[in-house]
Chains A and B, each alone.
Chain A
Amino acid sequence: MRVIVVTSGKGGVGKTTTSAAFASGLAMRGFKTAVIDFDVGLRNLDLIMGCERRVVYDIINVINDEAKLTQALIKDKHCESENLYVLPASQTRDKNALTESGVEFVLSELEHMGFDYAVCDSPAGIEHGAVMALTFADEAIITTNPEVSSVRDSDRILGILQSKSRRALNGSEPVKEHLLLTRYSPKRVEEGEMITYKDVQELLRIPLLGVIPESESVLQASNQGIPTIHLKGSDVAEAYTDMVARFLGEKLPLRFVTYEKPGFIKRLLGGK
Chain B
Amino acid sequence: MSRSAPVRSIEFHPFNLSALRVVLDRADPAGLADELHKMLGGRPDRFSGEAAILDFSALETLPARIDWNGLTSLLRRYCLQPVGVYAVDEEHAAAARNKASLALFEHLDATPVSAPAPRASATTVSPFSLAAPDSASPPQADLPFEPSAAAPLVAGASVAPTLYIDRPVRSGQQVYAHGGDLVLLAGVSPGAEVIADGNIHCFGPLLGRALAGARGNAQARVISTHFSPELVSIAGVYRTFEQGVPEAFAARAVVVRMKSANGSGQTISIDPLQLD
Co-assembled chains A and B: yes
Binding site for B on A (CB under 8 A): 126, 152-153, 155-156, 158-160, 162-163, 174, 203, 205
6 closest cross-chain pairs (CB), A and B = A159-B170, A155-B171, A159-B173, A156-B171, A155-B189, A156-B172
Choose among A152, A162, A174 the residue that contacts B190 (Cβ–Cβ < 8 A).
A152
With the chains together, A160 CA to B169 CA distance in Å?
11
Q: Which residues of chain A come closer than 8 Å to B187, judged between CB atoms?
A: 205
* B186 in contact (CB, < 8 A): yes
- Please name 21 pairs of A and B residues whose Cβ atoms are closer than 8 Å in the assembled complex, sorted by A: A152-B171, A152-B190, A153-B171, A155-B171, A155-B172, A155-B190, A156-B191, A158-B168, A158-B170, A159-B169, A159-B170, A159-B172, A159-B189, A159-B192, A160-B172, A162-B170, A163-B173, A205-B168, A205-B186, A205-B187, A205-B204
With the chains together, A159 CA to B187 CA distance in Å?
13
With the chains together, A126 CA to B168 CA distance in Å?
19
With the chains together, A162 CA to B167 CA distance in Å?
9
Give min CB distance, B38 to chain A, whole Å. 39
Judge whether B191 and A155 touch: CB under 8 Å.
yes
Binding site for A on B (CB under 8 A): 167-173, 186-187, 189-192, 204
With the chains together, A92 CA to B138 CA distance in Å?
70
**Residue on B with the closest CB to A160?**
B172
Q: Which residues of chain A come closer than 8 Å to B186, judged between CB atoms?
A: 205
Give min CB distance, B228 to chain A, whole Å. 11
Q: Which residues of chain A come closer than 8 Å to B192, judged between CB atoms?
A: 155, 159
Give min CB distance, A172 to chain B, whole Å. 15
With the chains together, A153 CA to B190 CA distance in Å?
10
Q: Which residues of chain B come closer than 8 Å to A203, judged between CB atoms?
A: 189
Q: Which residues of chain B come closer than 8 Å to A152, judged between CB atoms?
A: 171, 190-191
Known: A155-B170, A158-B170, A162-B167. 14 other contacts (CB 8 A): A152-B190, A153-B171, A155-B171, A155-B191, A156-B170, A156-B171, A156-B172, A156-B191, A158-B168, A159-B173, A159-B189, A163-B173, A203-B189, A205-B187
Give min CB distance, A208 to chain B, whole Å. 15
Q: Which residues of chain B come closer than 8 Å to A156, judged between CB atoms?
A: 170-172, 191
Q: Which residues of chain A come closer than 8 Å to B169, judged between CB atoms?
A: 159
With the chains together, A18 CA to B81 CA distance in Å?
60
With the chains together, A153 CA to B186 CA distance in Å?
19
With the chains together, A162 CA to B165 CA distance in Å?
12
With the chains together, A45 CA to B43 CA distance in Å?
53
**Residue on A with the closest CB to B208?**
A155
Give min CB distance, B245 to chain A, whole Å. 16
**Residue on B with the closest CB to A158?**
B170
Q: Which residues of chain B come closer than 8 Å to A163, judged between CB atoms?
A: 173
With the chains together, A162 CA to B175 CA distance in Å?
13
Give min CB distance, A104 to chain B, whole Å. 25
With the chains together, A160 CA to B173 CA distance in Å?
8
Q: Which residues of chain A come closer than 8 Å to B191, judged between CB atoms?
A: 152, 155-156
With the chains together, A87 CA to B187 CA distance in Å?
39
With the chains together, A33 CA to B170 CA distance in Å?
31
With the chains together, A162 CA to B169 CA distance in Å?
10
With the chains together, A152 CA to B170 CA distance in Å?
9
